[in-house]
A = this chain, B = another copy of it.
Amino acid sequence: MSTGYHVFGVQGVPLVQPGDDLAALITEAMSRNGQTLENGDCLCLAQKIVSKAEGRQVPLAAVTPSPEAIALANETDKDPRLVELILSESTEMLRKKPGVLIMRHRLGLVGAHAGIDQSNIVHGEGEEALLLPKDPDASAATIRNTLRDRLGIDVGVIITDSANRPWRLGTIGIAIGAAGLTVLDDHRGGVDMFGRELKVTLINRADAIASAAILVMGETTERLPVAVVRGLPLTVGEAGDQTAALIIRPLEEDLFR
């Protein structure tokens, strides 16, 4: 039973450019800080730096909005080129009103703007937007494998994002990519401490770890896009390693489309 863990940020990770080797940038920053990544750590990376490293920055000047995007942009008071990107990244629009566009991203994530954001990116000649990584679970696995190959250590990796929720104010951390850890801890079919059957206890560890990490990562100007969670068991129960894709509730169970 875990009785304690530690969460700390990694200072001094440089601004990330397309093509950067994130595993190297992080371990080099940690080394400068006198920090060492250890076996069993869970390394949490903000989605923004993964997207930047993977070249997911799009200049809006290069986007030609469709008539559908232009109409929707008018309805929602948004830039038609941004709306074009949002539509191209999404499979479904759930809600719209002026200033608000709630989409289902092709990865299954539901939220504002299909995860596209325009903060904390360097805007060159014009406006730019940053898309989510193409396959965040694969991004997490690549970083995990790179660290294993180079350092001989086994770590969990989570790509975190900030998410809003329909009935609660304020963003929390969520895991949009994961490798090397149990994402959903399944107690369904187990019993509680008085022997009563537990009917609905499926615990989302990856989102909880992402939220724990975001408390030190900062979301504005803190320049701390990486955090380490140390002392939590990476895998629990019989599930072993899982991906963040498992978190997406199947469409047929969705009561709030």
Contacts and interface: CB of A to CB of B under 8 A. Distances in A.
B166 A123 contact: no
Given A100-B255, A166-B254, A167-B254, 13 more contacts: A1-B224, A3-B8, A7-B7, A109-B167, A110-B167, A112-B200, A120-B194, A162-B203, A167-B256, A169-B204, A172-B208, A173-B208, A198-B220
Interface stretch (A23-31, A142-150, A244-252): A244-252
Nearest to A9: B3
A166 B169 contact: no
Given A169-B202, A198-B119, A223 B193 contact: yes
Given A211-B211, A216-B3, A204 B170 contact: yes
A191 interface: yes
B256 A166 contact: yes
Contacts of A192: 119-120, 220-221
A128 B38 CA distance: 46
A187 B220 contact: yes
Copies in the complex: 2
A218 interface: yes
B254 A196 contact: no
Contact of A167 (B5, B208, B248): B248
A187 B219 contact: yes
B123 A196 contact: yes
A159 interface: no
A201 B120 CA distance: 12
B170 A202 contact: yes
B255 A95 contact: yes
Nearest to A166: B256
Given A166-B249, A200-B112, A207-B172, A191 B221 contact: yes
Contacts of A219: 187, 201, 203
A171 B211 CA distance: 13
